[in-house]
Amino acid sequence: MNSSEEIAVSGMSAGRPALRMGPAELVQAAAMARRFYLEGKSKIQIAEEFGVSRFKVARVLETALERDLVRIEIRVPAELDAERSDALRARFGLRHAVVVESPAEEEESPDPESLGEVAADLLGELVTEGDVLGLAWGRSTIHMAAALDKLPPCTVVQLTGVYDAGTAERGSVEAVRRAAQVAGGEAHPIYAPMLLPDPATAAALRNQTGIARAFEHFDKVTVAAVSIGSWEPGISTVHDMLSEEERAHYASLGVAAEMSAHLFDAEGRRVGRDLGERCITVEADRLRRIPEVVAIAGGGRKAPAIDAVLRSGLVTSLVTDTAAADQLLAAAPPPRPALDRADPDEPGDA
């Protein structure tokens, strides 16, 4: 994301009249302001040039702002909401929060494609040469990978199995390949379903050479991108893969959100941990140790789920939209900042 600051320096006031400043003072103030705001010179450099003290320069610059000789406009692309982004970052103690404007007709739609495009730009900022990038399954991460156009040289690792092995070419495997191609680095995909019938089958698959090799890279991941799902049809991959009886069972445990096959209640505590034994996915403890975990999720219907995951201590940054952000900003702040990476299940951390 690119932001720009436009600074207009004028010799005449467009607001309050500058009657108390004579023409020489106006010219000098405009010149000093131009040096400071447009040319990037320090107050000491300006003082030396004009033969005055740096304190005099500071007073002149302050007066220039007060008299409207200088106007400072901070602009970001129209699709980004800088105010909500900063408020969300502060409320949840995140490293980065980026809020995308959501069209009125899409406010309830989960994960509009624009989130993936903005997340792709954010990864371009966060990933550095030599990093290991981890991608979990999710519609938003797939959209993000498709939008990637630049990445420093890095290794890309798949963090979860796929929703359906038959759609791997259009899903997370292809997302890993795409990211690695853009980065010019190694790809470590996982050719296996995310959810298996039983723990024994899942354990056997984890020991297969290709999958085991991907798992070996989990502890090396420095930046990860994950999706968040609500516990309802069509908005959680795991929910849709389970039987009606299984869905009812986990719902009875108070599931509010799902991320990478991990289930969370409204306070961010993990529930239904037995499900993880049947899944090909990065463990929660490993996810918590990754320095930067970017969650990509939006839509008003997903707001409670996003809130739950932000309280889990597993996520450091968020890309969302205004529909979800407004609900998140109205919610009670979490007991601990996200960057503390505190586990709500640990004594003394809740």
| Residue 126 confidence (pLDDT) | 95
Q: Regarding beta strands 155-158 and 187-188, do their DSSP bridges make them parallel or antiparallel, or are they unpaired? A: parallel
| Helices vs. strands in the chain: H and E counts, helices first | 14, 13
pLDDT in tens, 27-58: 888 889 989 988 999 999 999 999 999 999 99
Say which residue the tokens 């893969």 belong to.
241
Q: Give the model confidence (pLDDT) of 118-136 as tens digits.
A: 999 999 999 999 999 999 9
Q: How far apart are CA 3 and CA 146, in angstroms?
A: 23
Residue 105 has pLDDT above 70, yes or no: no
Mean pLDDT, to the nearest integer, of 266-281?
94
Question: 45-72 burial by CB neighbour count: b if 16+ within 10 A, else e?
Answer: ebbeeeeeeeebbeebbebbeebebbee
21-65 fold: Arc Repressor Mutant, subunit A (1.10.10)
Mean pLDDT of 112-123: 87
Name the more confident of 347 and 95: 95
| pLDDT of 224 strictly over 70 | yes
N- to C-terminal Cα distance for the chain?
Answer: 34
What confidence tier does 6 reach under pLDDT thresholds 50, 70, 90?
Answer: very low
Q: What is the mean pLDDT of the chain?
A: 86
What is residue 80's DSSP assignment?
Answer: B
Judged against a pLDDT cut of 90, whether residue 163 lies above it is answered with: no
Q: Indicate the DSSP class of residue 200.
A: H
- DSSP annotation of 170 reads G
Angstrom distance (rounded) from CA 151 to CA 334: 33
Pick the CATH number of 78-338 from 3.30.70.2740, 3.40.50.300, 1.10.287.610, 3.40.50.1360: 3.40.50.1360
CA atoms within 13 A on the CB side of 22: 1
Residue 74 has pLDDT above 70, yes or no: no
- Res. 185: pLDDT tops 70: yes
Residue position matching structure tokens 């056997």: 204
- Segment 166-175 shows an average pLDDT of 64
Instruction: For residue 345, name the pLDDT band (cuts at 50, 70, 90).
Output: confident
Q: Give the residue extent of every domain in the chain.
A: 21-65, 78-338
Cα–Cα nearest to 165, from 188, 137, 133, 143: 137
Cβ(64)–Cβ(34) below 8 Å: no
Higher pLDDT pick, 71 / 42: 42
Helix axes 23-33, 54-66, angle to 10 degrees: 100
Lowest mean pLDDT among 8-17, 46-55, 110-119: 8-17
pLDDT of residue 348: 59
Task: State mean pLDDT over 63-82.
Answer: 76
The residue among 338 and 73 whose pLDDT is bigger is 338
* Residue that has been written with the tokens 């108070």 in this structure: 254
| 168 pLDDT tier (thresholds 50, 70, 90) | very low
